[in-house]
Structure 1
Amino acid sequence: MVKPLPFIKNHQYNFIKKQVDLLERACNSVTDPKVVESVRYSVHFNILEAFPDADELQKQLLEKVAMLRTEGEFRHYLRSLEPYLAEFPVVTGKQLAKLFPKNKKLKLPDFAAIDYRYVTYLGWVDIATHKLFIVYRLNGRLVGIEGRYIPTNKSVCFLCNRHAEVALFTTVTKSKPANASPDYYKAIGNYLCVDSEVCNKNMTDVTALEKFVREAVGTHES
């Protein structure tokens, strides 16, 4: 049996789940068939639009959403997509040490607890040093960001746009203006989920994450 070729990234899977939930709620609560069909068309369109590079077989798999009507069908559809989830690269302690060479006592995440199918970015905290770490694959290359975090009250995370327990995460950007002096220093920051697992479950778009990563590591590659 040929193994399915993964093509659905974590944030895309979360987007699909959100769209499926919209359609399921419409099927369960809306009595006007025209309204339900309008939602069905919108969900179908939105999901396909999220995969502009999908081939015909992949489109056929995604388009099955238009046929869903019962609770069992909705659940089965989401389960049928799981073999197509594109995992985040499995990382090792050595790889992380290379990404954060200045941190000689780097606290590592709990690798055993990570399900890489549901990871958009790898994030963890070191409570002892009040540091937060992010690892992301940008343009095919793993990059690491290290910064300070200050826990705050609940607010909206800039990555997943959900109201959650967040921290103010700040890091020194490596991006410098052309005429910058050697001692140029600029910190960037934003409110980020303290629990990256929760954040990864809610992320449906990587635009804000990639913008932040590019600014932090000093690259403007597209």
Structure 2
Amino acid sequence: MIKPFIRNHDYNFIKKQAAFLKQTLRTAVDPKVLESVRYSTESNIMGRFPLADAHQQQLLKGISGLDTADEFDRYLGQLQPYVVEFPTVTAKQIQKLFPKNKKLKIPDLSAVSHRHTTYLSWLDISTNKMFLVHEMNGLIMGVEGRFIPSNKKSYCFLCNRHEELVFFSAVATKRPAKSSPDYYKAIGNYLCMNSMECNKNVTDLSALEKFMEAVTG
């Protein structure tokens, strides 16, 4: 029985390590360099899974012995069934995350690739709003805010890739003790306009979860 244990961002990390090793195989002439890269690639991947059982370790360690492009493709393909899917959420559940938006425009959930999703995000052009949904600490959480297209490429704070961005600004829901009634704190950052591409590239959750914690308290 297959027990998924690789989250999307970890799978993206494995793909990145595999691409680096494959490139090294094409260019390295020093056997010692190649041996070092093989070792570091495997160590970096295994470091992501300190609780992996014997079967899981065997699956992951296979990368150090790969040589051809076909072998790398097979390795990544064998890991696909072990990727943890993003929780299935319904339109009704999403509406409950954003109760003040009675006319909330919900994306086509049937088009979501759950196995390759770290977070859901979509834009409502008519209201200049952006919505973000992510599972954190076992709970599905939602954040909404305003977005402004940057009209240029730069580095996304979530995936660190050079992509077309928007500036996303959300109002913190938690107020400091004894704050004035008109207290207002907006938290913003630049992230990918195309969340599907971002989900293919994100390898670390820390920036995303720090942002969500800052907004939701």
* Counterparts of 2:174 and 2:153, CA distance in 1: 30
- Structure 1: which 5+ runs fail to align? none
Displacement of 1:127 in angstroms is 1.0
Whichever residue aligns with residue 129 of structure 2, its letter is K
**Structure 2 residue 122 is matched with structure 1 residue 124:** yes
* Counterparts of 1:45 and 1:182, CA distance in 2: 52
1:200 alignment counterpart: 199
Select which of 82, 85, 90 maps to 1:84: 82
* Counterparts of 1:134 and 1:54, CA distance in 2: 30
Displacement of 1:28 in angstroms is 1.2
Displacement of 1:187 in angstroms is 0.4
CA deviations 1:98-126 (Å, max 9, x no partner) are 00000000000111211100000011111
Taking the TM superposition and a 5 Å limit, the aligned residue runs for 1:116-195 are: 116-152=114-150, 153-195=152-194
* Counterparts of 1:23 and 1:103, CA distance in 2: 47
2:40 alignment counterpart: 42
1:31 alignment counterpart: 29
Displacement of 1:131 in angstroms is 0.7
1:72 alignment counterpart: 70
**Structure 2 residue 97 is matched with structure 1 residue 99:** yes
Whichever residue aligns with residue 82 of structure 1, its letter is Q
* Counterparts of 2:64 and 2:176, CA distance in 1: 49
Q: RMSD over aligned Cα, in angstroms?
A: 0.9
SS in 1 for 2:4: coil
What TM-score does the superposition give when structure 1 sets the normalisation length?
0.95
* Counterparts of 2:107 and 2:51, CA distance in 1: 33
1:213 alignment counterpart: 212
CA deviations 1:178-219 (Å, max 9, x no partner) are 33233321000000111100110010000000000111111x
CA deviations 1:42-96 (Å, max 9, x no partner) are 0000000011221221111111111111111111000000000100001110000
Displacement of 1:34 in angstroms is 0.8
Select which of 4, 7, 12 maps to 2:5: 7
**Structure 2 residue 8 is matched with structure 1 residue 19:** no
SS in 1 for 2:140: strand
Moved more, 175-184 or 73-82: 175-184
Aligned length: 216
What TM-score does the superposition give when structure 2 sets the normalisation length?
0.97
* Counterparts of 2:21 and 2:107, CA distance in 1: 37
State, as a whole percentage, how many aligned pairs show the same letter. Answer: 56
Moved more, 89-98 or 172-181: 172-181
* Counterparts of 2:198 and 2:137, CA distance in 1: 22
- Structure 2: which 5+ runs fail to align? none
